[in-house]
Amino acid sequence: MELMEVIAGRRSVRHFRPDPVPPEKVELLVQAANWAPSWRNLQGWRLFVLQGERKRELLAAVPETNRGRSGLGEAPLALVLVADPEQSGTREHKPYYLFDAGLAFAHLALAAWNEGLGTCCITWFQEEKVRSLLKLPAHLAVVALSPLGYPAETPAAPARRPWKEQVIFLDEGN
C-alpha cells in the first residue's frame, strides 16, 4: 500500500480472528516503532508483548465498559507500551514522554495496518494492575495497551472534518 492509503485506511480494531501473528511480523512492527522520533533521540519507551495467561490477566486492568476490552480478549497478542519520563524532556511543565510514546505507537499501528494487522490504542485502564502484572519498576509509566491481531472485520471510516478546517495558514498579512 502507499503511505497515504495506510494512513487513511487504518482503523481502531475491536474484533479479531484467533489466527496467530508470526514473530517476524511483530519484529517488523517494533522496528517501525523504533524509527519514531523522540526527545533528543532518547527513545524512552519500551514495549511488552503478551500472550496466553499474561494476556488474559491484563483484561482485569481494563474496565468492562471500555469498548477496546473485547479486542484484548479476542486478539492473540496484547501490547503494553511503557515509558520512562526521565528519558524524555519537560518544557513548561509539559512532559514529552507521552508524545514520544505516542509517536512510537502511531508508527507501530500504521505498520501493523500495512501488514494486515489491527490495533486499538487503549488508554483507560487501571495502571497499578498493569504495573503489578508486569512487575514494573516505579520509574516506568504505563502509557497505553493495545490488542494485536488480524481483524475479524474492517470498521467503517469514522467521520472526519475536511482537512482544510484543521489548518490555519499564516503569512505576513495575518
Does the residue 170 lie in any domain? no
Instruction: List the grid coordinates of 42.
Output: 532518547
**Quick one: three-class SS letters along 2-27?**
CHHHHHHHCCECCCECCCCCCHHHHH
Does the residue 171 lie in any domain? no
Instruction: Provide mean pLDDT across the span 8-19.
Output: 97
DSSP class of 40: G
Instruction: Provide mean pLDDT across the span 10-14.
Output: 97
Instruction: Give pTM, 2 decimals.
Output: 0.94
Q: List all residues 6 or more positions away from 31 whose beta carbon is below 8 Å from its beta carbon.
A: 111
pLDDT at 89: 79
116-154 confidence digits (pLDDT tens): 999 999 999 999 999 999 999 999 999 999 999 999 999
Does the residue 174 lie in any domain? no
Is the predicted pLDDT of residue 174 greater than 70, yes or no?
A: no
For residue 22, what is the domain's CATH number?
A: 3.40.109.10
67-107 confidence digits (pLDDT tens): 999 999 999 999 999 999 988 877 777 889 999 999 999 99
pLDDT at 173: 72
Does the residue 172 lie in any domain? no
Does the residue 65 lie in any domain? yes
Residue 60 identity: A
Does the residue 150 lie in any domain? yes
Identify the domain containing residue 128 by its residue range: 3-165
Runs of H (alpha helix) within the chain: 3-9, 23-34, 52-58, 69-74, 97-114, 127-134
54-70 confidence digits (pLDDT tens): 999 999 999 999 999 99
Does the residue 173 lie in any domain? no
Q: List all residues 6 or more positions away from 105 whose beta carbon is below 8 Å from its beta carbon.
A: 33, 81, 119, 121, 143, 144, 146
Instruction: Provide mean pLDDT across the span 8-13.
Output: 97
Domain count, the chain: 1
